[in-house]
Structure 1
Amino acid sequence: MKKWFSLLLVFMAVLTALPGTAMAKLPYMTAYYDPNQLSWFRIQPIYSPAGAFSADFGEPADLHVADDDRVYVADKKKDRIAVLSRYGKLLRIIGDAEGSGKLSGPEGVFVTPGNEVYVADSGNQRIAVFDENGRFRREYQKPDTPLLGSEHFVPVKLVVDRRGVMYIELNSSYQGLLRLNPKGEFMGYFGANKADQSMLNWLKKLVLNKEQMSKEKGALPKPITNVALDRDGFLYTATAGGEGKGAIRKLNAGGVDGFKNKTLENGHGIVDVAIDPEGFLYNVDLDSMRINIYDRSGQAMFEFGDVDKETQQYGVLGFPTGIGIDSQHAIWISDSATNTVHKYVRTAFGSSVLQALGLYADGKYEESKPYWEAVYARNDMYNGTFQGLGKVYLHEDRNDEALSYMKAAFDTDGYSKAFWQIRMDWLQRHFVALVTSLIALLLAVYFGRRAVRAYLVRHPFPVSWKDPLAYIRNLGYVLIHPYEGFYKIKEARIPAWITLFLLCLVIGIKLCRVYLTGFLFHPVDLSEVNLVKELALFALPWVTWIIANYLVCSIKDGEGRFREVIQGSVYALSPYVFFSVPTILLSNIASLDEAVIIHALNVVMTVWLLAMFIVMTQVIHNFEFLETLKNSAISVFTILTIWLFGFIVFGLSYNLYDFFYELYKEVNIH
């Protein structure tokens, strides 16, 4: 027995000593942005950490990846530029111990295609230039021009274009980038941000006179945070703040912003921007704490990574200060909190999806197909795959498949193109049958109406049906003759079940608009529709209108009773009923090229609805027209007041419930 027990102990010891299965999980999440749904969705990693390199940095303040993939890091604290290989190995130190080549607190670095190294030597208030071997060549100090006045020349970031013109960001300067030619002569400022005009400034201009305004401090533009240059010569400025508005601007030689000051997703806390060979943009953002990737138009595509000042975790940034992209699409980020340079490389999935997106952006749909298929094999839930393959199938005239994929991607533009082609093919094959069917339908309606009328003459409805049918028909009559129709409603005592029936008809029409409207004009996943929310949002304005209208008009000596206000408000919805039917039908046969028809019908319906409610108020309460307009406006204000009060009550009630619930949990626990 002891022998078997000893063998068992040995066996357990061996099992314990065996290595376990390694589970590699990245310390951050990755997500893609769907512009059709305006939402972020999680996805598998597209970039993974490939190293955190240190060359005994003191404070890496910026980095630049040269054309030969060498990484130049401005080390502010140690007064030097460290040059790393593509593998993170220290190759060279730039910056002399003494003399003209001695640096002082450099905060920016740029390397030209000719491997000249330009350094924003902030402490020495100059631009220092070194050759590829690190030998000092020349310097540019503050240009001698009265246009700069007393402004301090403290360069912090810079780029140099193919002509040798320097675009320099000065410390906290709101005037834009300072330009110097190769001789060091001042060429003016370039690419300044626009000053934000707040509501307060607008009110000041409205209230204050010229003398008072002259004493006010004007709104200043935000200073540029960083600057980058692409291979085509476009300058990209990064500006933090403004909730992402103008966070990245793409400036041509004339200073015109190709992005038109667009609002950037995850751009509020932007630190730096870089551009890869395909023209995709990369930034690192301290507000969202993510590394972000954008397409050539500045549309968000992916986000990943994490920022934590207290981090000791591999792959997590501490305080990023600069970003660069090498020719292999690796991302390099300088980090002054961990005093390292992080490197991220594309995963197999990331390589496939970004390659597919690059070819897709170039219009090379056939070439992108195998990459999209590789992406689909790894993730069949990524909407970009459906959009990409849909474009491929559209190009191949496989319109039925394109339609399906575009719908899955919620791409209404692509869906419309495929639908238009399918509709054209169908019309060419069935035109004669369609015309014949339409003629037959018109004849059936014409003769059917006559036959029904003749039948009703011989077999009339019971007398008890006369008034209910008249009340129901009045829904159509009030649409064309609102004044006469509402007078009939005011003088009649309509049974409650008729009012309820008409209200149910309106709700039924609402359900039809939700579930039967064509995808192009209602691009949602019907399985995810929150029906209760849809009906609540539809009914809430109508219910609060009834309450507000009755209360306001009662105070203003209106003659309408509460029952009459309810009845009139139901009949006032007649445009919604009669316009919705053709709108729903047309939405299923129209493409986006004919969208103006649908939009026109909706605009006419909305205007008609407003007119109906105004006429209803005038007739039911026996007001003059101007008095009706005034009381209607007061009713709208009352509606907003009711909503605000309801919101406050709901918020307080929820807080009270939360308080008692937490108290209940505390009592149960202790």
Structure 2
Amino acid sequence: MKNNHSRRKFAIWFVCLMTITLFPTAAFADVPYRTFTKDSYGRTIMTQPAYAPKGVIARDIPTLNQQGEVSYTPLQRPQDLFIDRQDHIYIADTDNNRIIHLDPSGELIRIITLPESPLNQPQGVFVTENGDLFIADTGNKRVVHTDKGGRLVQELKRPKSSFMNDQFVYEPTNMVVDKRGFIYVVSKGSYNGIIEFDPEGNFLKFFGTNKTEVNLMDKIRRQFYTKEQLSRQVRLLPVTIRNIEIDDQGFIYTVSGSKSEQVKKLNIRGEDLWKEKDIDFDKNKAYRRTSSEQIEPQLTDVSVDQNGNILMIDKSRNIISQYDENGELLFYWSGSSTTGNSLIGLTKAPTAVATNSRNEVFILDEALNLVQVYKPTEFGSTVQAAYKFMQDGKYLEGEKYWTKVLKLNAHFSPAFQGIAQAAFYREDYELARDMFKLAGDEGGFSDSFWQLRLVWFQKNFSIFANVLIVLAVLIWILGLLKRKYKFRILPKTTLLDRQRWYQQFKHVFYILKHPIDGFGDLRYRQKGSYISALILLILTLVMILVKTFYSSFTFNPVPDYEKGASSMLIIFMSVWLSWVVCNYLIGSIRQGEARFKDVFMGSSYALFPVVLFGLPLALISNGLTLSEASIYHSIEWAMLLWSGLLFFWNIQAMQNYGVGETVVNILLTGVTMMILWIMIFILVGLSSEFSNFIYTIYQEVSM
């Protein structure tokens, strides 16, 4: 069994290595856009296209004129798109005041205009399982319900309720209907949330209201302004909901312009199941072509495909994103259509998205007045199938798909997660541990290590216990012999003991027992020097590196290639030196007695707990799991607290301060450090600008 596990592990590693070497990720020439994803550490990586352009539909709609002749009219600012269970396509052709009904291939079936009650600027359309249509007739401020044949059944006009004041504006822009027949309407500019109606059209309540976003200045005003002053301020209101979608399980999705609630997944009680998810479209930054101004996201629609994956479109930045049903990013791609560059697959102002039974993606573009159609690629289909097995708990069935994904793209880190879960499920914990590390999952890594540790203890417990007993007996015998023959294990003095710097270095142990007296002795009894302080500082740097590079992945889930030793040391030394300089300056101003040498030595000796605990912490971390994290973090916090107290006592003893004066000194030192770094950044910026200015003058003179 062990040989089979070893061969399987070697085969997976070999496939990964060969794929990285022979088949690196590259941009594909057959699509006019690039596709990206995020790895486990939040880095953006390029992938093969998940969807490829298939074509366009609804470019021109055939209509009969009064003479009975066929003419073609394009869509005019269409706002919504819906695909029913038979893959029929419905488009809200807003400025043409009509609903376009197309068959699955994009051929026209009918044009819905409701002659008995004409539509006016319809912006949303929804089709129920029995074929009934619901139209958000925005211009007429109503929701229209028709039967399958297009005959008017019901109108949902402005509801009459005590929850709505006279200023409430009812202009429906979209709606969804659940399997019970309850209707959820989004109204333009309504900060109250979604309007919920029962199947008879009676108003029930507002649903899924966004939270009011309050910034720091708003909080300050509430604390210090009077009621009269607050009444004159602009009223803070929740951000309005832009669009809505419902899936087969009855979960409702909304998109908004909110910073904190851009996308929500609501259950029947209106609770956001994604409130803990880090779905932030601001991270996918985009900038205007003509300037460095960052483009703000503008989510306009959301759709759920047959696998439960969620598609979202960002109109302002032309970004199409796909997430799995748990809110984990799968892909996102972007390609903007410009004047003279109107290629299939490129959008200009995407406003609605929908998917059919084959998981093809349809994107409605209000600027190009057509629908772009995309089909899943082999890579995209494989990833989606693998995710589906993972979500259903069928890890072994999904493993072959993840292996195929790695063959297609060795940088797609979720594949390591899928393989790790399959290995853990079949109890191949060693492979699972390694794959969880590649996937960046410290929880899975810890669980796998816990299983390996349990197996090791079960196998070696008798040996381990016997060794402990033998060691205990040997120590007992050694103690008896020492007391009887009175010999020393170590010599009383060594060559190092005759070195002055070594005696000064050993003084740090006295400081640990008697901190205030010990720090005082550094100055008044010459118990310290620059040499001993530098030795302690170097040891601190070494222990920081040891703790960073040799701590277990469980407690330091950072890939090895991101553990930059040079940058880490530069940052630490910059902070430490600025502390020494600023603390000396503040002490000089506030009648402190410490010299620069004293501050330098004391600040080095105060770091000794890091030297004392750095290596043990790194070693302990490699034997613990997340269930014992409290042990690790208790030791870590004790180390930092001890070092902090030593810094406090160092200032108190060296500067001859009281407790209150010491606290003030520390606070002023912190403020001075911030001012110092601001000045450094300003000087560096000015120096760069000045050098560019001199170089520009030189170029002009030399021409």
TM-score normalised by the chain length of structure 2 = 0.86
Q: How far, CA to CA, are the matches of 1:180 and 1:556 in structure 2?
A: 70
Q: How far, CA to CA, are the matches of 2:584 and 2:164 in structure 1?
A: 68
2:190 to 149, 170, 173: 173
Note closer, same or farther for the CA distance 1:169–1:545 as it changes in structure 2 (3 Å cut).
same
Match of 1:253 in 2: 268
Note closer, same or farther for the CA distance 1:527–1:238 as it changes in structure 2 (3 Å cut).
closer
Q: How far, CA to CA, are the matches of 2:198 and 2:251 in structure 1?
A: 17
Number of aligned residue pairs:
641
List alignment gaps of at least 5 residues for structure 1: 1-22
Residue 106 (str. 1) matches residue 118 (str. 2): no
Q: How far, CA to CA, are the matches of 2:508 and 2:486 in structure 1?
A: 21
2:607 to 570, 573, 576: 573
Match of 1:16 in 2: none
Residue 501 (str. 1) matches residue 535 (str. 2): yes
Note closer, same or farther for the CA distance 1:666–1:342 as it changes in structure 2 (3 Å cut).
farther
1:304 to 327, 333, 336: 333
Q: Report the aligned-residue RMSD.
A: 2.4
Percent identical among aligned pairs is 32
2:353 to 313, 323, 329: 323
Match of 1:595 in 2: 629
Q: Is the 8 A contact 1:240 1:271 kept in 2?
A: no
1:404 to 434, 437, 448: 434
What amino acid maps onto 1:137 in structure 2? V
Deviation of 1:537 (Å):
1.6
Q: Is the 8 A contact 1:127 1:155 kept in 2?
A: yes
2:82 to 15, 39, 64: 64
Deviation of 1:558 (Å):
0.8
Q: How far, CA to CA, are the matches of 1:280 and 1:140 in structure 2?
A: 31
Deviation of 1:440 (Å):
5.7
Note closer, same or farther for the CA distance 1:453–1:515 as it changes in structure 2 (3 Å cut).
farther
1:125 to 132, 141, 144: 141
Q: How far, CA to CA, are the matches of 1:223 and 1:292 in structure 2?
A: 21
Q: How far, CA to CA, are the matches of 1:578 and 1:443 in structure 2?
A: 29
Matches within 5 A, 1:543-558: 543-558=577-592
Secondary structure class of the residue paired with 2:140: coil
What amino acid maps onto 1:26 in structure 2? V
Deviation of 1:432 (Å):
2.5
Q: How far, CA to CA, are the matches of 1:601 and 1:497 in structure 2?
A: 29
Q: Is the 8 A contact 1:246 1:262 kept in 2?
A: no
Q: How far, CA to CA, are the matches of 2:281 and 2:457 in structure 1?
A: 46
- Deviation string for 1:74-95 (max 9, x for gaps)? 0001111112222222222111
2:252 to 235, 244, 253: 235
Q: Which has the larger displacement, 528-537 or 134-143?
A: 134-143
Residue 78 (str. 1) matches residue 93 (str. 2): no
Deviation of 1:578 (Å):
1.1
Secondary structure class of the residue paired with 1:569: helix
What amino acid maps onto 1:427 in structure 2? F
Secondary structure class of the residue paired with 1:107: strand
Q: How far, CA to CA, are the matches of 1:277 and 1:400 in structure 2?
A: 36
Residue 486 (str. 1) matches residue 491 (str. 2): no
* Higher-RCO chain (CA-CA 8 Å, sequence separation at least 6): 2
Q: How far, CA to CA, are the matches of 2:381 and 2:701 in structure 1?
A: 55
Q: Is the 8 A contact 1:309 1:319 kept in 2?
A: no
Matches within 5 A, 1:34-73: 34=39, 36-53=40-57, 54=59, 55=61, 56-73=74-91
Note closer, same or farther for the CA distance 1:374–1:168 as it changes in structure 2 (3 Å cut).
same
Match of 1:195 in 2: 212
Secondary structure class of the residue paired with 2:95: coil
Match of 2:35 in 1: 30
Secondary structure class of the residue paired with 1:77: helix
Match of 1:357 in 2: 387
Deviation of 1:520 (Å):
1.4
Match of 1:525 in 2: 559
Q: How far, CA to CA, are the matches of 1:452 and 1:154 in structure 2?
A: 97
Q: Is the 8 A contact 2:318 2:348 kept in 1?
A: no
Q: How far, CA to CA, are the matches of 1:69 and 1:203 in structure 2?
A: 54
Q: Which has the larger displacement, 290-299 or 334-343?
A: 290-299
- Deviation string for 1:326-366 (max 9, x for gaps)? 12111111101100111111100110011101111121101
Note closer, same or farther for the CA distance 1:30–1:664 as it changes in structure 2 (3 Å cut).
farther
Residue 155 (str. 1) matches residue 159 (str. 2): no
Q: How far, CA to CA, are the matches of 1:77 and 1:377 in structure 2?
A: 48
Q: Which has the larger displacement, 350-359 or 213-222?
A: 213-222
Match of 2:411 in 1: 381
Match of 1:9 in 2: none
- Deviation string for 1:623-656 (max 9, x for gaps)? 1111111111111111111111112222222333
Q: How far, CA to CA, are the matches of 1:363 and 1:409 in structure 2?
A: 18
What amino acid maps onto 2:510 in structure 1? Y
